[in-house]
Structure 1
Amino acid sequence: MSRPIFHLMFMLMIEGVWMTMVICEVYNIGDSDGWTTLVDSNYSTWASLKEFRVGDILLFNYNPTNHNVMQVNHVSFESCNITMSMKTYESGNDSFTITAPGHYYFICSFPGHCDAGQKVDIRVLKKHPLAISPHTNFSTLTSPKAIAMAPAPVANVATDSRCLLGTTVVTLVSCAMLVA
């Protein structure tokens, strides 16, 4: 490959990677109100206004003296059953990384809190062209054909450095393949 073509391809690849640097978004559950029953927080409305994707990070900020977070299944979510937790968080500043499409259900197990609306159903989209999961085949993502045919992303604003880790790996592998 001639040097000018190599430089052009390299610059286009870097520009494409720069545009796709955001792999995930960090969501503070309940925004500035956090995870609580003390304010009029409608978590189902809040969640319906978001587009969650694989790789996104959910932050639960709350007073651990008065609240917790339980990840539960759909049946426990609907009935506010606090006896069948998949995982319980109690620090007051908990994060959860979305690893696959589908629904993720969270409730507070303090008496009456779930029934009062302190529960959220996070629906994760099945398709997102830039999402990096633990099962992503990096050789497919970084092939010259994949790089050339990658769709233009809709950028999200990353608010956490953890969102950029997967792209850094893709960038390094892509650069190594072009140089080789």
Structure 2
Amino acid sequence: MGLIGSRVPFVFVIAIFILPAVALATEYVVGDNDGWTIGVDYNDWAVDKKFYVGDVLVFKYNEGSHTVIKVNGTGFAGCITSPNSGVLTSGDDKITLLTPGNKWYICGVSNHCSYYYQKLTITVMPKTMMWPPATAPAPAPEAGIEPSQPASVAAPGSY
């Protein structure tokens, strides 16, 4: 019992730091309802999103119609793959973003990348975790002005 009892606080501490990071990950279906296909502007899709380490990209498409290939910047610009590029083909490919930086993905089917621009580039930001979450400090009162009294708060259900 002594060994088990001594591990409980350690496991608890680990859980406090690991679980929030996992819970905060976002899963993005690339192209939203359109999925991974031709005729979608993936630059437009990604422009208002912020991607962080731990987030997951989900590429949904009809199996056999498309592929997902992670490439470098040169491969992205020229729609070129290298012999060691991993090719995903399931139609429900999930990629966990493990490192910060630029990421590039293309479709390797026929001319889908070069002619139809079926390609995605994103920038992944590092995950910063602060515990407890930071709060903004209250502003300092201006010189010569007395701080005002806090407004009264209405009782629940009275508004």
Q: What TM-score, normalized to structure 1? A: 0.59
Q: Which has the higher contact order (CA 8 A, sep 6+)?
A: 1
What secondary structure is seen at the aligned counterpart in 2 of 1:75? Answer: helix
Q: CA deviation at 1:129?
A: 2.0
| Pairs within 5 Å for 1:29-48 | 29-37=30-38, 40-48=39-47
Mapped contact 1:70–1:107 kept (Cα < 8 A): yes
Give the distance between the partners of 2:95 and 2:19, measured in 1 at CA. Answer: 26
Aligned to 1:88: 87
Aligned to 2:147: none
| Greater alpha carbon shift after TM alignment, 83-92 vs 107-116 | 83-92
Q: Against the structure 1 CA distance between its residues 85 and 70, is the aligned structure 2 distance closer, same or farther, given a 3 Å change threshold?
A: farther
Give the distance between the partners of 2:84 and 2:31, measured in 1 at CA. Answer: 21
Q: CA deviation at 1:47?
A: 1.2
Q: CA deviation at 1:44?
A: 1.0
Structure in which a larger fraction of residues adopt helix: 1
- What is the RMSD computed on CA atoms of the aligned residues? 2.5
Which residue identity does 1:56 align to in structure 2? D
Aligned to 2:103: 104
| Pairs within 5 Å for 1:4-153 | 22-37=23-38, 40-84=39-83, 86-115=85-114, 116-126=116-126, 128-130=127-129, 147-148=131-132, 150-151=133-134
Aligned to 1:158: none
Q: Against the structure 1 CA distance between its residues 85 and 48, is the aligned structure 2 distance closer, same or farther, given a 3 Å change threshold?
A: farther
Q: Against the structure 1 CA distance between its residues 60 and 85, is the aligned structure 2 distance closer, same or farther, given a 3 Å change threshold?
A: farther
Mapped contact 1:129–1:151 kept (Cα < 8 A): no
4+ residue segments displaced more than 6 Å:
17-21
Q: CA deviation at 1:151?
A: 2.1
Structure 2 unaligned blocks of 5 or more: 1-17, 136-159
Give the distance between the partners of 1:100 and 1:48, measured in 2 at CA. Answer: 20
Q: Against the structure 1 CA distance between its residues 85 and 77, is the aligned structure 2 distance closer, same or farther, given a 3 Å change threshold?
A: farther
Give the distance between the partners of 2:43 and 2:23, measured in 1 at CA. Answer: 26
Q: What TM-score, normalized to structure 2? A: 0.66
Q: CA deviation at 1:21?
A: 7.1
What secondary structure is seen at the aligned counterpart in 1 of 2:63? Answer: coil
Q: CA deviation at 1:22?
A: 3.3
What secondary structure is seen at the aligned counterpart in 2 of 1:147? Answer: coil
Q: Against the structure 1 CA distance between its residues 93 and 21, is the aligned structure 2 distance closer, same or farther, given a 3 Å change threshold?
A: closer
